[in-house]
Amino acid sequence: MRAKIARRALAMTGAGALTLAGVIVSASAASAPAWRVVKTFPAAEGVWSENLSVSGAQNAWSTWIACKSCGGSNPVNYFFVEHSAGSGWRRIGVPAPLVASAEASVALGTSSFKDTWLIDPPASPTAATTRVLRWNGSKWLVRAIPAWAVHLNLSGTYEVVPEIFGPRSVWIFSMGVDAFTKPDHYVARFNGRVWTKLQMPAIPVQVSALSPDDIWVLGATAASPQKASTQVLMHWNGRRWRTVALPRVRVPANSTEYVNDPVALGPNNVWIQRQILRGQAGAVTMYLQHWNGRFWRRVAKPQQISIVDNMTQDGHGGLWLAVNGPKPAYRWYIYHLNGGTWTRDSVPAASGTNVLDLIDLRWVPGTRSVFAAGNMLQPGSTGGIIGAILRH
């Protein structure tokens, strides 16, 4: 649901009714530890940034980058490419001539151990192509793809989400408004031979995909950045896009409400969270919403949650949430919604560290397992920041 290194009362609508969920039991204390740290990365001066892509129980990939010494004009970077076949993580080396390209990559995607992509940004605004490093199971190959498949947004960043279902089914979404007038509304598709632009009903903002014929995208319908944006959900069924209207809400004065983090469970089954931003206080998650193909259902969150930072499915109809709060401690927890009941897990820290943040949460397709990624802080004025992968 996220590109890193871009380096997060009763109402009626045309889409159906917005109602309160059934009984929700909030855990009053953390459950027995179910998460464990399975991989750490060396202490760095800067925060670790990662990309994580998982296609199944025996194929998970991650890239990690941070500055070892962030001062000066030429900081030394850590950069690692890691693979997990189900038990542990191992380093996948990048040949010296390709290291700079790998470090500059803005997205990571995989369909199998023999089909993994590191996607580079174009070298210049006028470039016709950009580079992809493709792992074929034994080595990295350099391939050119159209530069329009990977484009900047107006914040000046590349927020790119590849959905790779196989060598002949590759989708690359470039997120956000990319122009002041006539912004792009397309996703780049590759069928193994040619790249094409598939037009979308709205500007893509976030993606949750299960298969080539079951892709959910949260979008913005603004004709230009100068006009107020309207959010909408889009669903690709393998033949065409359809839109699902989001429930209308009454927004308090001097506030902004928006939805975030679509999590697809099926062609008529998707979750989102609704957040509110009041002044300078920062965003707060108000509640979750669930679309069952006919109407929206509102699901209350535990009061202890200030903001949901990431969501993913659990493989059997429920959700995992990486959350922060409540104040004043603002600790990180991982919540589980299963059968209408909430439970809460503490986030384990690597030995000798404290949890700084959680930056990713990924379900392992075909299983009930989930990966999380984050940063751990070594105590003391000279302590560094350690990158970490956790697993449930």
Least confident of 10-14, 283-287, 290-294: 10-14
pLDDT band at 18 (very low <50, low <70, confident <90, very high): very low
pLDDT reported for residue 1: 40
Please say whether the beta carbons of 77 and 130 come within 8 A.
no
Closest among 244, 235, 242, 187 to 213, alpha carbons compared: 235
pLDDT reported for residue 19: 34
pLDDT band at 318 (very low <50, low <70, confident <90, very high): very high
Distances 213 to 53, 312, 365 between C-alpha atoms, Å: 19, 19, 16
pLDDT reported for residue 216: 98
Calculate what percentage of the chain has a pLDDT beyond 90.
74
Mean pLDDT on 145-157: 93
Please say whether the beta carbons of 192 and 145 come within 8 A.
no
pLDDT reported for residue 24: 40
Render pLDDT for 34-48 as a digit per residue (tens, 0 to 9): 899 999 999 999 899
Residue 100: phi, psi to the nearest 5? -60, -40
pLDDT at 307 over 80: yes
CA–CA distance, 90 with 77 (Å, rounded to integer): 19
**H-helix or E-strand spanning residue 184:** none
CA–CA distance, 287 with 297 (Å, rounded to integer): 10
pLDDT reported for residue 70: 87
pLDDT at 314 over 50: yes
pLDDT at 157 over 60: yes
Backbone angle region of 212, left / alpha / beta, with phi > 0 → left and psi within -120 to 50 → alpha:
alpha
Mean pLDDT on 101-126: 96
Please say whether the beta carbons of 175 and 161 come within 8 A.
yes
In sequence order, what are the beta bridge partners of 215? 209, 236
Cα angle 219, 225, 227 (rounded to 5 degrees) comes to 90
Render pLDDT for 178-222 as a digit per residue (tens, 0 to 9): 887 788 899 999 999 999 999 999 999 999 999 999 999 999 987
pLDDT at 101 over 60: yes
Domain 11-391: give its CATH superfamily.
Peptidase/esterase 'gauge' domain (2.130.10.150)
Please say whether the beta carbons of 83 and 46 come within 8 A.
no
Domain definitions of the chain by residue range: 11-391
Closest among 377, 369, 364 to 61, alpha carbons compared: 364
Render pLDDT for 65-93 as a digit per residue (tens, 0 to 9): 999 888 877 788 899 999 999 989 999 99
